[in-house]
């Protein structure tokens, strides 16, 4: 077996199929999308090459920047909410009663598909029959908010299910990282007289910073390209007040028949995500790696 694995030809043979798949399904389409972005194309007829016009147009398109603003806001909220998730994971990783049950509770949204979550929250947000407004009415609120049709609040209303949807995912990652810390370290601290807060802040947190960095990248990039729940719940409306970059791209392609422009948007979206990842890695780069053995 060892012989086989050291044979370069065999290694290449094993790697080749997935390499071909990844090239064909990911990298070539990316290049093609950038290329289509230079076309004026309604998706049906012939393509006309117009150079960088779509990309230039993109920079002048106030609707695009509005939706980009919404995407960045979502990225900000997602990043901030990571702190809460980390806190929950810290609590769960300690010896509390019912930790198992809580872990399951937080994980359940992860098991549901986005569309199911969207349907669930549509019912909750329903302006007259929804649980939320019924409760508010019972509490004596006279003018209950119209969660999904009031342009000033729709964006925040829709962030709630999105953050809820991913809570379990991040809590699980943090939980696993925290559980990975050797118990000897914590025990040693305890013997030295550290209280649970000190253990959490001085030992557990520093040891999971690498994981936190990864989750920040995941949260930001995930938010920037977020699409499904928003599409099902509001379709980007009313009047674009909950539009994000991906839903705007979808609208341009499938409703407005402007596939060239939509390709330009998605290519630009890719660049934004790459830049965001690079910036985050730069900003959070640490010189010393913490190691425990």
Partner 1 sequence: MKKALTLSVMLTVSMGSILAGCSSPKENNAAASSAPQATATAKTDAAKPVTIKFMHLWPAGSSATQNKIVNDIINEYQKDHPNVKVEQEVLENEQYKNKMKILSTSNDLPDIGMTWAAGYMDPYVKGNLFASLDDVLGSPELKDKFVKGTTEAFAFSGKTYALPVELNITPVYYNKEIFAKNNLQVPKTYEEFKNVVKTLSAAGVALIALGNKDRWTGSLWYMYLADRIGGKETLKKAIDRTGTFEDPSLIEAAKDIQDLVGMNAFNKGFNGLSNDEGKAEFMNEKAAMYMMGTWELPNYTTNKDVPQEFKDKIGFFKFPTVEGGKGDINSWVGGPGVGMFVSENSKVKDAAKDFVKFFVTKWGEHSVTEAGVIPATKVDTSKIQLPQMYIDLLNELSQASNITLFADVQMKPAAAETHLNMIQALYGKAVTPEEFAKKHEEALAKEAGK
The distance of closest approach from Cβ of residue 86 to partner 1 in the complex, given in angstroms and rounded to an integer, is 33
Among 34, 69, 196, 238, binds partner 1 (CB under 8 A): 238
> Is 118 near partner 1 (CB under 8 A)?
no
Residues that bind partner 1 (rule: CB under 8 A) add up to a total of 31
Interface region with partner 1, contact rule CB under 8 A, candidates 22-30, 39-47, 215-223, 279-287: 39-47
> How many other C-beta atoms lie within 10 A of the C-beta of residue 3?
7
Contact between 125 and partner 1 (CB under 8 A)? Answer: yes
Q: Are 161 and 118 within 8 A, CB to CB?
A: yes
49 or 254, CB closer to partner 1? 254
Q: Rounded to whole angstroms, what are the CA distances from 98 to 137, 167, 169, 172?
A: 34, 18, 19, 16
* Shortest spacing between CB 45 and partner 1, in angstroms: 4
237 binds partner 1 (CB under 8 A): yes
Report d(CA 78, CA 95) in Å as an integer: 28
Minimum Å gap between C-beta 239 and partner 1 is 4
Considering the complex, what minimum distance in angstroms separates the CB of residue 48 from partner 1?
A: 11
Region near partner 1 per CB under 8 A, out of 81-89, 143-151, 207-215, 279-287: 143-151
Are 224 and 245 in contact by the 8 Å Cβ rule? The answer is: yes
Contact set for partner 1, span 168-227 (CB under 8 A)? none
Supply the minimum distance, in Å, between the C-beta of residue 133 and partner 1.
9
Q: How many residues does the chain have?
A: 293
Nearer to partner 1, 78 or 133 (CB): 133
Q: Which of residues 144-173 bind partner 1 (CB under 8 A)?
A: 146-149, 151, 154
The yes or no reply on residue 255 touching partner 1 (CB under 8 A) is yes
When binding is defined by CB under 8 A, the residue of 239, 286, 291, 293 that contacts partner 1 is: 239
Is residue 238 within 8 A of residue 149, CB to CB? The reply is: yes
- Chain residues binding partner 1 by CB under 8 A are 42-46, 122, 125-128, 146-149, 151, 154, 234-235, 237-241, 251, 253-259
């Amino acid at each position: 077996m060892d012989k086989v694995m050291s044979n370069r030809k065999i290694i290449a043979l094993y790697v080749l199929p997935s390499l071909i798949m990844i090239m064909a399904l990911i990298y070539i389409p990316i290049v093609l999308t950038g290329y289509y972005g230079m076309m004026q194309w309604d998706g049906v007829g012939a393509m006309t090459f117009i150079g960088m016009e779509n990309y230039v147009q993109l920079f002048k398109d106030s609707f695009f920047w509005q939706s980009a603003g919404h995407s960045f806001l979502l990225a900000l909220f997602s990043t901030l909410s990571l702190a809460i998730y980390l806190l929950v994971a810290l609590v769960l990783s300690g010896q509390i009663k019912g930790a198992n049950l809580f872990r399951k509770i937080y994980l359940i949204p992860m098991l549901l598909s986005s569309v199911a979550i969207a349907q669930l929250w549509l019912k909750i947000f329903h302006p007259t029959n929804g649980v939320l407004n019924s409760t508010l009415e019972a509490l004596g609120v006279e003018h209950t908010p119209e969660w999904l049709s009031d342009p000033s609040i729709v964006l925040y209303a829709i962030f709630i299910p999105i953050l809820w949807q991913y809570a379990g995912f991040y809590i699980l990652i943090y939980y696993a990282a925290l559980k990975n810390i050797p118990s000897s370290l914590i025990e040693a601290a305890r013997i030295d007289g550290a209280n649970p807060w000190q253990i959490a802040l001085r030992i557990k947190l520093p040891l999971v910073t690498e994981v936190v960095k990864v989750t920040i990248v995941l949260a930001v990039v995930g938010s920037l390209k977020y699409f499904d729940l928003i599409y099902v719940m509001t379709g980007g409306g009313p009047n674009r007040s909950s539009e994000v970059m991906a839903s705007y791209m979808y609208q341009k392609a499938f409703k407005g028949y402007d596939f060239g422009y939509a390709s330009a948007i998605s290519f630009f979206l890719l660049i934004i995500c790459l830049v965001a990842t690079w910036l985050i890695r730069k900003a959070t780069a640490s010189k010393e790696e913490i190691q425990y053995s």
